Amino acid sequence: LDSGASYHVTPFRSQFRSYTARDFEPVCVGNSQHCAIMGIGSVELTLPGGSTKQIKLYLCVPILGH
């Protein structure tokens, strides 16, 4: 699975299978806004066909959910 993304992000803490709260430098998103990263961990995605893939180094950026 290669998404081509520099970072994988989600605003939803509940999606993480593992999670560590840490302070990071803000991440710059597509509209050039700098957003605070609240933590890092892994997320399990369900792919078409029902298989799953665990993505590590997922960033939690809560403001993206607003």
Taking 90 as the threshold, does the pLDDT of residue 5 lie above it? no
The model carries a pTM of 0.74
Of the candidates 7, 8, 18, the one whose C-alpha atom is nearest the C-alpha of residue 41 is 18
Q: Over the stretch 26-62, which tens digit does the pLDDT of each residue have? A: 988 888 889 999 999 999 989 999 999 998 889 999 8
DSSP for the chain? -----S-EEES-GGGEEEEEE---PPEE-TTS-EE---EEEEEEEEPTTS-EEEEEEEEE-GGGG-
What does the pLDDT average to over 15-20?
94
